[in-house]
Amino acid sequence: MGLTLRQMRYFAALAKERHFGRAADAAHISQPALSAQILDLEQTLGVRLVERNRNGILLTRDGEEVLQKVSLILEQVERLEGLRRSSSSMLDGLVRIGIIPTVAPYLVPKLVPCLRNLSASLELELKEAVTDRLIVDLQEGRLDAVIAALPVQGDGLETVSLFTDRFFMAIANNAEAILMSPLTETQVDIDRLLLLEEGHCLREQALSVCGTAGKRSLVNFGATSMTTLLQMVSHDMGMTLIPEMAIPTETARNDIRIVPFADPAPSREIGLIWRRSSGRRDEMKALADAISDRATTNR
């Protein structure tokens, strides 16, 4: 049987206390068990480590040499264990995050400064793309986590909800159409409904909210970004669904009016997704907590 960390820790305790009884108490074992472990260590190394006397023990010359090496080993083990503990509870090193386009512009400006304050050693890499593309990158290891609307499809994934994002209707301030507030789906003129292009989950959510899932032929325009969509709305070219998190930014730069839906108001659930096999669950939980805090601030 080779050397064990247990034997080295017991020997270090004995060298410190210079007494079998006190060393056994410090190591939380019986004195006979400690003596047996030290004897096993001596036999493994083939040298005598301690001299017993009436007052306790003395280290032999070999014992002193072994103590120096054992102390170095235990110090390195402690550093490794400390690294494991810290990395399991905080963000550290490179973290690659994918974010869907209808979340990224409104979350990233809040999130990046927060994460930098949370961990000085954090290196953040962000990618914006539609959900399906991000999930492929996540599963193939090009991303560590994805922020997207739940639910998502994919094997071996874990998710946690970050926040609920309610939907509103955006129309031009000078719109010819009059929408009563609160709004119901029967008041939505689907001929004037503007949507993001195919592939954006917000497109599908808008179709569902407005009851147009079976009438997609009536929707014949798809914008590439939320910004483009709302600029068109501000020029009274139609109306569109807007997430609550986008309202402060978009109402400041577009001449639009926000109309709430009648209760129960439609919404989407934004979540964090990561690979179960990554072994970074605690780190992802820490990231999720940071995102939830920032996303719900000053909404």
The letter for the amino acid at 136 is: V
| Burial of 73 (C-beta count, 10 Å sphere; 0-12/13-18/19+) | middle
One domain for residues 212 and 193:
yes
pTM here? 0.65
One domain for residues 190 and 250:
yes
Contact predicate 180/264, CB 8 Å: no
Residue 234's domain is classified under what CATH number?
3.40.190.10
One domain for residues 136 and 278:
yes
One domain for residues 169 and 263:
yes
Residue 29's domain is classified under what CATH number?
1.10.10.10
Question: What's the total number of domains in the chain?
Answer: 3
pLDDT for position 247: 93
Rounded Cα distance, 298 and 15, in Å: 59
Phi, psi dihedral angles at 109 (to 5 degrees): -60, -30
pLDDT for position 143: 94
One domain for residues 206 and 228:
yes
pLDDT for position 37: 92
> Which residue segment(s) compose the domain that 24 sits in?
5-88
Half-sphere exposure (CA, 13 Å, Cβ side) for 215?
Answer: 13
Helices 31-45/20-27 angle, 10° precision: 100
One domain for residues 282 and 155:
yes
Taking only the tens of pLDDT, the chain with its 299 residues reads 578 889 999 999 999 999 999 999 988 899 999 999 999 999 999 999 999 888 889 999 999 999 999 999 988 887 776 655 444 445 667 889 999 998 999 999 988 887 877 777 778 899 999 999 999 999 999 999 999 999 998 889 999 999 999 989 888 988 766 666 677 666 666 677 787 766 667 777 776 766 654 444 444 456 678 888 888 889 888 888 899 999 999 999 999 999 898 888 888 999 999 999 888 888 888 889 888 887 766 55
One domain for residues 282 and 159:
yes
One domain for residues 135 and 277:
yes
Rounded Cα distance, 14 and 12, in Å: 5
Contact predicate 1/44, CB 8 Å: yes
One domain for residues 286 and 252:
no
Residue that terminates a domain, selected from 88, 109, 142 = 88
